[in-house]
Structure 1
Amino acid sequence: MKKRVVMTIAGIMGGTFTSSAVALAQTKTSVEERGPVQESTISIPDSEILAEEKEVAATIESTTTTSTIKTTSDSLEKALEATTSETSSTESGSASQSSASQHRKEIETEETSLKAQTTSTVLTGMIGTSQWSLDPTSGELTIGPGVFSDDVSSAFDSISNVKKVTFSGPVKAGKSLKSLFSSWFALLSIERLDYLDTSQVTDMSYMFTNCTGLQTLDVSNFDTSQVTNMSMMFYNCRGLQTLDVSNFETSQVTDMSYMFDACSGLQTLDVSNFETSQVTDMSSMFDACSGLQTLDVSNFDTSQVTNMRGMFFLCTGLQTLDVSNFDTSQVTDMNNMFAGCKALQTLDLSNFNTNQVTDMAGMFSSCDKIQTVNVSNFDTSQVTNMRGMFSHCWELQALDVTKFDTSKVTDMSDMFYGCKELQTLDVTKFDTSQVTNMSSMFYGCSGLQTLDVSNFDTSQVTSMGGMFIGCRGLQTLDVSNFDTSQVINMSSMFADCRGLQTLDITNFDTSQVTNMSNMFDGCSGLQTLDVSKFDTSKVTGMIYMFRDCSGLQTLDVTKFNTSQVTYMWNMFSGCSGLQTLDLSNFDTSQVTNTDEMFDNCDALKKITLGAKSIFGTKTNTNLPSIADTSLYTGRWIGVNTSNTYSDSNTFMSNYDGSVPDTYVWEKASVLNSTLDPSSVRVHSESEVEWTWKITNSSSKSAENVYSDITLPEGLKIDKNSVKKNNLPVSVDDINGMNNLGTLSSNETVTFTFKTIVSGKPDKWLELMGKVTWEDNGIRTVNSSNKVKIIDEEQKDKGNQTNDLELLSVPVGFRYGILNKSNTPQTIHLNARNYQTHTNVVTDGFYTRLRDDRTKDNGWKLTAQLSDFSDETNSTVLTNSGIALKMENMKIESIKNRDTPQESIDQNPTGTPSTVSTNETLISGQAAKTLINAQANEGHGTWQLRIPFDKVSLTVPANTGEINKNYTATLTWSLDDTP
């Protein structure tokens, strides 16, 4: 007979719940109860910025002009389009510009009316004693020898379509050659101009004006020693690529205005020897010489010059310009002086004397590449016009205007327009008491972080349209003291000031305002905006007024008088945070367009309408549909009248003012459904009890309620276990067959029922519950929950309530029958003892715990093996020396515990610093520490994995009695201190 001893080791968790280890036993663990885990929150910052200007710029009304412009050149027209603002004319464009405008009209008329001569008869005539003849076929004009009369301005009025001029002999000019070849657009060449003696000429103005076809012109032999007027001499000779005026004697010249204006084809121009000591007018002298890359005016004597308006206007190719020696002490007009010099990077104006200057409008406009310009010493005491002075200086990074005397300035519109790189701008000392126009003054200054205009005197201002448009960097702006009693235009005033958090305009006097379109368009940062005192009795335009003010939740427009308003499209579009609007005082009788008025106002759930506040019957307001159908029926209902509209579109389209009321989203009956199992982790073939609660959380009853359970494979319902509010009911009550009737407000129905679980370990089984009821259609709410079939070789703690506790331990280690021996023997677990639970053979055992305490104070996991005893405890093998050895153990961090997404974290943090990979427990001896987590370690869920083939039992010789079963208890303990 064989000597056999049955050895079994059971595991328990000390003091907490019965569970596993080396056999069937109970484990104790004594831990303190901890508070709940505190969840952390993550705030996601907004991401950045530069959006399109949308339509805002289109609504800015302007009553002034940037500069005077005159041209017939296609290329110049395009340049003008690229560098000037859309405006209408004012006094800033002086009389000197009106002549250019008149010339433009004459040019256009001449260009469109030119016709070729059809007769073959040679035309002849006289200029003084010089005879001329024109061959109409070839277009060649021959000028014979002689003496010109003093006035030749109308000498060739009777002829046209001249293509070539030839001097056949010496000609002595009189006192004036003004307009000699003016506006000969077809003229391609002038030959033997050296025959022309100009020694007596005093006036050469307009001489070659608008000779646009000339490719070359030799004036190198001109004697200009007596000339006093060269105004517009080469105006619009845009075909010329070279022009030699280096030998011109200009000591008597007083007027050089427009001399080379619109000579856009010139690549070089040598005026370095010009003697300009007598010149008084240099306005537009090099205007639109866009082909020039260099221009040497360093020796110019400008001591007598009074007008430099547009002098270098649209010299777009100039990369350098030395005006450091300019004497500007007599200059009164610098309007557009450097405007459009897009390539200039530096400009030294340190010696400029501006004490006589009255007009600086557009002076540096569109100097795209200039990063700094020193105007700190400018004397602006006489200046009345600063319109667009620094407009479109895109790259300007520093600007000191602190010493500007603006006491006489009336126009500051567009002054800093587009200075997007400026981060600071000190205008605190500006005297604006005479200013009438501030439209677009800071338009596009997106880099400014602060702007102090609190001391601005705006008592004379009539236009503030676009004043701060695009100042996206500003978070605060104090305009609380603005006197707006004279203001007519406030369109786009604060448009795209998306950084503003607050804006105090409560004291604005808007009694004269006619345009408020785009006024707050894009002010998405504003949380509040008080316009309750606005007088809108004269306003005709409110389009885009509050568009994209997404931060506003309330907006009081109850006192708005809209009887004169004709356009309201997109007025509130994009106000996604706005929840209520009282429009009961709106009179839309004059309004013709309300397109997209409420577009993207997704939160707008309360609208008060009056008898005259009719919107959707005119155009589509795009009032959003009610998206939250879980809480609302999709209908609009009158609070006082119960008048309903089936949807938002019908509401706007059909409201005709006959039933004024406050209309709100109609609330729906809302049912909540929860489905909970008695345990999430269950053994196969065990029973799970489910609790299904259906609650009406709304103030409205739910009618014709049905509940329907969907069982997965692996769950079978016990039909006799179904109860409703603790009373037995038919299973048809939860399978969608029985009508549960009406569920009143705050009423709860509780179903309980049992299911039998079957399946393989680690499988999740999902039970789903569907509730339907009637409320303006069929409404549905779904709920579900899952249970997991757990390993039969693991014992879970049933009531998991502590934030530090053991969750699961091995059920036991079964070693089977052992032959009694005279020598020590070591036995391992055998797979044949686990044939019904083979997963443990491959996956091994584990002891799982959690630490969800708010403070990571650390913890300690220990294990202790008791003495072995027989079934009746009559025989206890004390001091037997039996040893349980566990090898290759490892610790694992668990993510998403007890969910279908549960997994082992491959990159855990806070891993306990001490983990025993191999440990031997001697029966009857003290517990040993397997894991030791210090402070700030071991937070979360962890488990000690024990490989199946690495759990062995060593039994000393002659241990135990034959035919007895011996069992020991393995106690797992979790202490709340390391």
Structure 2
Amino acid sequence: MNINRIGKTTALLLLLGSLTAPASLVQAKTYEDVPTAESSILSRTADPIQVSQERLKRAEIEDSEDKTEESTKETEITESSEEKEKESTDDETKESSTESSTETTDSSKEKNKKKQPRATVLKEGTYGVNDPSSYDIDDLFVDILRNNYTATHWPPPNIPGTFIGYGGTPMTEEYLSTLNQFNGTSTKLKSLKGIEYAGDTLSAINVAYAYLEDIDLSQNTQVIQVGFNGNKVPLPKLDLSKNVGLSNLQMASSGVKEVDVSHNYNLQHLMIQNNLAMGTQINTIKKIDLSNNAKLLLVYAQGNQIRDISSANGLTNLVNMNFSDQTIYVPIPKIDDGKATVDILKTTAQSGLTVTNGDISGVPILSANGDKIILENVTKESLDGKYLNFSYDGTKLVEGKSGGSKFFSGKIYFSTTSDLEHSLKVDTKKVDNNSTVGWTWKLKNLTAVSADNIEPELTLPSGLALVSGSVKIDGSTVSDNVLSGGTNLGSLSKDQEKKITFETTATGTVGTWLEAKGNLKWDDSISEGTTNYDEDRLDKVQIKDGEQTYTPKPSEEMGILSVPVRFDYGIKDMSNTTQSFGLSPDLYQTNTNVVTNGFYTRVKDDRSTSTGWSLTAQLSSFVDVNDNSRGMPDSHGTALRLEDMSIEAIKDRDTPDEAVDPAPASPQPGTVKSSETIVAGQSAKTLVSAQPYTGQGTWQLRIPFNKVFLDLPANAGKERSNFQAKLTWSLNDTP
């Protein structure tokens, strides 16, 4: 039974004339014509400290140039409100004539300004209320400096050795420039704006149990000790890159998520223990890099979520290293036949790890292999919301000083997390050069945990270019930038889906595989948003040979996958004797490998139970291209002759790993014609035959380029007429 015919290979087209006139265009081209597969023969195709210093310099110039202007003595701290008002009025008058004034007028205006008393009083403002650019110092910070005995200052303005506050006077730059230490305990302080006026004089700052959100110590380059313990809101990440003299840093129980001490080469004491996300029991610090802190003596980092301590390797002064009581949250690992691996811990020696069960259900078997934790006899349900304990033998840890105190231990919790199943698929695996191909990127959340802040990013190689305006989400056109990364597509709840489609142009040489990569980032509520998932999906498209068709038929178990597009013999003279023509390489110069590799007809048999199959070819009679009712005169006996044919097995079909085996082992098709003459207008010829249970998989009949001949009888054709025939390939489900 004939079950599959996929197209038509144009077998012959003839332009015929006299013996001496130009004649005979003979060419083959395949047309898709479901359900038949035929080959035809057809015609050819064608910075703030600097501001303070400048103010002081201007004031000094004023004292030397304009002493006669001072009719009353004032302190450097106070100004009468009337004088302020007058100055304001004067300034407004001067500003009103700015547009027409000359450079001399501007200089005069600046000179008049210099006649004013020193502008050393710092304007106060409230964090979160006033525009930060409209004031110099935070009012709550000033209140502590005025009234709180724990805020110390050197040299003391009162009784030596004691400072009870600056009093109710305005705060000045001169005062702050002598501030050596600041210690404050406050439940209100949110900002340290103004601390920059202390400059390099400040050596220590300690603020505990505050609500600090705004901290900038970049001007306090000589600070040695920094402490922000017990902050009641998440402490922002500190930029300590300018504080190279820092030796003591304390940020315990402050909810800080990131700690960067990579520029603090003099650091000796680091205390960042017990940092939890506010209002939760979720630890926030997940990593710390100590590789640049060779002077470290002590690290207290217990009670966090640190997984990797290897950066402490080589710190030979580190005598006290405490990474105990870590609480780490991870997704449930992939489980295969009751077994899973947790590979998140990292130490240098990868030795001394002990694992015990916390509350994992059932009878789990836990063991360690280096830093890896091996789980056996577990299921997704037995791990969900449960934990195990881990602990390293301190004597086996090579991080820190040899013989020092060393701890690394904690719990690892397993949680059901969001699970985005996503796939990137090209619409067809093989395309012509310079053609357009479609892609589909599907996303689906498989669990009850919402997948949030979904960001897709598409990476294309040279050879693939996004077609502008082709990007759609669930059928609606969106900006191409959606696929550039950084665009938030929102959230997906359980079983919700999104479908992204787009098109690309594909350019390259025959056989080139072009890979598109879809990267998907998202997070969820597990670990208070500190979990971030980052996964890639890949698919590839190949530039196909322009002289071979491609019809993959993914939904069918059997099928013809490719046949030759054309057999082109060029222009030939008519003759009163029989003639035989071979193919000319000159006519196959564009985007093809058939000249060197030959043609092929490829078939597949993916049936679980094979009944055998046969591949046949039939050549139609030649007809006039412009009038199919007119046959070619004297064409009786015209034939297509195929020689040196062979069978080849195909492995990993339509993938970059595809391989051709020219000498396949059994079971292979039992009968393969090495040569065959197919006469026009006669019945089909069987070229390959496979008996039941043989020929399963993918096979192709190889036809060498220089072994495809056209035999014409004497006087075949008609002058100045075009004739064509078609070669039809058929795959039958019986031998």
Q: TM-score, normalization: structure 2?
A: 0.48
Q: Report which of the two has the higher share of strand.
A: 2
Q: Larger Cα Rg: Structure 1 or Structure 2?
A: 1
The structure with higher relative contact order (CA 8 Å, sep 6+) is 2
Q: Report which of the two has the higher share of helix.
A: 2
